Structure formats: C-alpha cells, structure tokens
Chains A and B, each alone.
Chain A
C-alpha cells in the first residue's frame, strides 16, 4: 500500500516537473518574442528611415493581397446576406439585413478573416524567406557587414503590416457589404434604401474603431510571430536546413492563426 502511494506521488511529482518545465519554457519564449517585437518595432523609427523597404513590403503584403482579400470579402458578404436573410425573414425583420451584414463584417469577420488570409499568403512567405536567409548565412552576412538584420529585415515588415492590415480590413468590409447587397437586395429583393439606411443607423464610430484596433493588433502579432519564427529557424531543435524552414513556416502560420482567434475574443470582450 505504501509502495503504491509512493509510486503515485512520484508520478504526480513528475507531472508537476513537466508542467513546470513547460511553463518556464513558455514564459521564456513569450519574453523572447516580446523583446524581439520591441527591438524590431523601435527600429522603425531609427534614422535614416527605410521608406523604400517599407514601400516594397507594403506592395508585397498589401497590394499583392488585394485580389484575394476582395474575393474572400465578396463571398463572405454574399453568404452573410444569404444566411442573414433566411434567418431574419422568419421574424419578419429582413429589413435589418444591411445592419446584420455590416456589423458582422466591421466588428468581427473583417479583421479576423483579413488577418487569416494575410497569414496564409504573406505571413508564411515572410517566415520562409527569413528562415532561408538564416540557414544560408545571409543574416550572418548582414551582421558581418555591420548592417543590423533586425532593422534590415524585421522593422520594414512590421511597419508595412501596420499600414496594410487596417487598409485591407477596410477593403474587406466594403466589398463584404457589397456582397451582402448583391444577395440581399439584387437576389432576394430586400429594399435597397432600407438596406443602406439600416447600415447608416446601426454602425457607429465605436464599431469601426474596434475593427481598426483589432486589425492593428493583428498586424503587430502576425508580423512579429512570422518574422520571429523565420529569424530563429537555426535554433529550432526539431530540424535543420530545409526541414527547419518548413517547420518554422508551419509554426508561424499555426501560432499566428491561433493567436488571432484568441486575441479576437479578448479584444472583443474589452471593446464591447
């Protein structure tokens, strides 16, 4: 009996040991990401400003995502219009369709889906590009040339994300509302005036600001996580070389997506 108790307490200690190790590792990692972010973000404002590199990244993250964001925004708005109409019509409130579509997009779906699309399109390639630069010693080469790799690689990407995320979110919202209009008004016969009047009545500045804040937070999180994962590819215990880059890219996408959804809940709780 005593032996059983000792064995039971031993495995419990082991469990606590593992939990402690995991927690310490997690805190360490969070601290490292925080330092990485502060370092990269502060260098955006160091002189001389890197306008050229920021514009290049705005083009890569923003302009090149334009089409896919528009497409996703359009179909999201259309499906919202469709689902919203058949739900509201049960209560005889189909006139509220414009408000339902607009509020869903501006408050939630716009910032979240835009962030998820940018993670898939640009975030993964940021992690892969920086990861390849790390394993092929290009980052070391920058260091030996006395070019700060954080300033050269990370800062322009964070700055560009801060510029493009809110703009792409706004684009997503507008196109989404057009999508809702297409199904609600043109397909299902909701009155056009009522559709837009309800949007005008129900959407207030707080909703737009909330969406804007969310997109800004997502921009910082996504760009930092993707750059961090690529930048420290060589420290990854699971794999080296091409395998290390693929693991970094996967981690960047998975962690960014999870954090976007978790933070969306947290931010919504505070903003409501």
Chain B
C-alpha cells in the first residue's frame, strides 16, 4: 500500500499518572476518511489533537508523509496547519461572535479575500447547513445541534485538504445526523480531502469510512477497512460492531459470542480426549431479514429477544447461550447428552406457541410468515467449531411457526 499521509509510530501520552496512549500505531492515508471509534474517555480526541499539534507525544513519533512532525521547520508546520481544519467535540465556537462571524472568522483572519467574496462563501455554507434563520444570533442563543452545524460549517468554509472531525454528529437528531454524514461523504468525493473522524455513530459511520481504527485500553487493537472490521474475530471488535445487539443480549441474559465459542472449543478438545461428552443446539428465526424488511427492525428484534428470553429461562446455570448471527442462537450443554438439548427444544416449542408475537392477529398492517427452527448436535470431538455449527444447522427442524392466514393484509 502507498505511504501513509499521517503515521503514528509507538506514540505514548500520559497526563500525570493517567496513561492515555501506550505505543499507539496508526496509519491515515491521503484522500480517505478514517474513523476512530472507541468508548468515551479512551483517548480518541487526544489522538486527534496530536495531529494538529495541540498535544505533543511523550514518546514515539508522528510522521507526515514520512517526515517526523518534530523535525518540521516553522514554515512547513505553518503550511501543514493551513491545510487542516479541526472540528472540536465541544464545538469551540466564539461566544462573542455571531454565527455568521464564527463561520467567516478563518477566512477573515487567514486570507486576503475581499469581504464580498467572504460573504458569498459564508452564505453558501449557511444555506447548506440550514442556518439562515440564526446567522445573526450568538452561539449561546442556538441549540446544541445548531452549534454542531455551525462548527461543521466553519471547518468546511476554508475548503481544507484535511479535516479532523471530533464527533461531528453527536447531539444531532437522526435526520440531521444522516444529512451531515452524507454531506461529509459527498464533499469528500467531490474535493477528495483526507478526513479523520472520531465518532460513536456505529455502524452509520462505517458507510462513509474507507478505514476504521478501534482504540481500546490505550492501544489500537484493530485498523483496517470496514469489511475487514466486520470479518474480524477479535472480541473487542465484535463488541463494537454489535454494540446494540450486545445491549439486547445483556437484557435477555445471553452470554457473549466469544465466551460461548471459547466454551464450545474447550468442550470439543475435552471430548476429543474422551474426557466428556456434551451437546449443542442451534436456534434460527427463519427468515429474520425478511421480517426486518417487511415488518420492521424493532419487530424483528422483539421476536429475537422473546426467543432468547424463553431459551435463557429454560437453561441451567452451567448451560450457555449466545447470539451467533442476526437471527441465530447457539446453546451449549456441557457434560450433557443430546436428550437434554432436545428437552429444551420441546419446552421452547410449547412456550413459543403461547407467545403474543406468534399470534398473527397482532400483525394488523403487515404480516410475514416466519418459523423458528432448531437443530441439535453432539460435541464428540471429531468436528471443529465451524463444522459443528454447520452440522447443527443441517439438522434444524421447524419447532414453532407463525402463519398469517386470516389476517387481512399480508405478504
């Protein structure tokens, strides 16, 4: 791959006894949008502030086009800085200037443009970000979402070669959030600037990112394309991508996927050494994607949640279950025969048929047929994890059904 535009090499940063970055390595390529994601307070903004020179690393180097930032001459640093824009998480708007003056400030102070041309550029951004009505107001007189848009307009008004966005969509309503992300993506395609974005909006931010980096425990455990991110087996990565699912799983009491996979792998190895025999069962909502498209995301998740809660209620303390995919649950029965797994399936089938979500009358507007399937498999040590799951999938049979017969409007 080409030489990165910006490269962090073993960068460490501490504030007193608080270690924020520990030998962080990160590559940012020219003409791409790189998103940095991570929990609050892990040092995302600190990372961003190193690029613009607001913070200096305690150890390590930051390279710009292969040259260490610390070796930049004054004019090189000035040129680099002039090619950047930074959008602060706190917006950092000047509270004694109006919205118009805030957006115009970098042009007024940094360029020799005539005032007419400055007004033209600022008016364009004001219209683009729907700020016409508040252009004469002060930042304290407008809402947080509007302040965010003003900060974004100010970052874009100089048409910089690189923009650092520190949580550009936090505090915006969903419609405006999408509009802002669209605008960033559109502008990036049009002008081709390099963007570095710190964001919590997962997965929305992935759609406009060329590369994603995850920061966790003072390090960057993953950096790569969104596709590589989705295919990563790393537990931290998985939790980030499926954050909303993790929350639902916690609500239903399901275990985490890596936890169950780890248990199953250890059961496979103990079965292969002949120590014990265990069983596993795979439950699938068929077809959850169709439900998502037809009835809606919330309904599809409700059905999944319902299945997960019934299943969790049927399991013993030593038995584990985790979400495997968007509509699949894998249950593991350590030191148990297949009978135990089949007994759980039987009970689950009975309980499901009594559930409100399986009643077609509840789907008054749009109704889609769906079924819950289950398959069992013995953990005997002859198969690896993937083969075992595939085998369970092969053996799946319908254990509960929801048919829309008799409902007025159906698909």
Contacts and interface: CB of A to CB of B under 8 A. Distances in A.
Contacts of B109: 145, 147, 152
B78 A136 contact: no
A143 interface: yes
B95 interface: yes
Contact of A144 (B78, B81, B90, B93): B81
A152 B109 CA distance: 9
A146 B83 CA distance: 10
A63 interface: no
A264 B324 CA distance: 80
A141 interface: yes
Contacts of A145: 85-86, 105-106, 109-110
A146 B110 CA distance: 7
A136 to B, nearest CB: 6
A144 B78 CA distance: 10
A146 B95 CA distance: 19
Contacts of B110: 145-147
B52 interface: yes
Given A145-B110, A146-B110, A147-B106, A140 B95 contact: no
Interface string A133-153: 100111011011111000010
B88 interface: yes
Given A136-B92, A136-B95, A143 B54 contact: yes
Contact of A146 (B81, B90, B94): B81
B84 interface: yes
Contacts of B53: 143
Contacts of B96: 129
A129 B81 CA distance: 26
B64 to A, nearest CB: 15
A262 B165 CA distance: 49
Contact of A136 (B81, B86, B90): B90
B27 to A, nearest CB: 22
A242 to B, nearest CB: 14
Given A137-B88, A152-B109, A144 B94 contact: no
B190 to A, nearest CB: 22
Contacts of A140: 54, 88, 92
A180 B78 CA distance: 58
Interface residues of A, number: 14
B82 interface: yes
A138 B54 contact: no
Nearest to B55: A140
A136 B88 CA distance: 10
Nearest to A147: B109
Given A136-B90, A136-B92, A152-B109, A146 B54 contact: no
B258 to A, nearest CB: 38
A133 B84 CA distance: 21
Contacts of A146: 78, 81-82, 110
Max chain A Cβ within 10 angstroms of own Cβ: one of B86, B92, B106: B92
A142 to B, nearest CB: 8
Contacts of A143: 52-54
Contacts of B54: 140, 143-144
A270 B54 CA distance: 45
Contacts of A129: 96
A266 B391 CA distance: 94
Contacts of B82: 146
B81 A141 contact: no
Interface string B163-200: 00000000000000000000000000000000000000
Nearest to A145: B106
Nearest to A146: B81
B105 A144 contact: no
Contacts of A133: 94
B88 A141 contact: yes
Contacts of B52: 143-144
A138 B106 contact: no
Given A144-B54, A152-B109, A138 B86 contact: no
Interface in A133-184: 133, 136-138, 140-141, 143-147, 152
A147 B84 CA distance: 12
Nearest to B164: A144
B177 to A, nearest CB: 22
Max chain B Cβ within 10 angstroms of own Cβ: one of A129, A132, A146: A146
Interface in B47-81: 52-54, 78, 81
Max chain B Cβ within 10 angstroms of own Cβ: one of A137, A138, A141: A141
A141 B78 contact: no
Contacts of B84: 144
A245 B234 CA distance: 45
Contacts of B94: 133, 138, 141
Nearest to B109: A147
Contacts of A152: 109
7 tightest Cβ-Cβ pairs between the two chains A and B: A141-B92, A144-B86, A137-B92, A147-B109, A145-B106, A146-B81, A144-B52
Given A138-B93, A138-B95, A147-B105, 18 more contacts: A133-B94, A136-B90, A137-B90, A138-B92, A138-B94, A140-B54, A141-B88, A141-B92, A141-B93, A141-B94, A143-B54, A144-B52, A145-B86, A145-B106, A145-B110, A146-B110, A147-B110, A152-B109
Interface of A: 129, 132-133, 136-138, 140-141, 143-147, 152
28 contacts: A129-B96, A132-B95, A133-B94, A136-B90, A136-B95, A137-B88, A137-B90, A138-B93, A138-B94, A138-B95, A140-B54, A140-B88, A140-B92, A141-B86, A141-B92, A141-B93, A143-B52, A143-B54, A144-B54, A144-B81, A144-B84, A145-B86, A145-B106, A146-B78, A146-B82, A147-B109, A147-B110, A152-B109
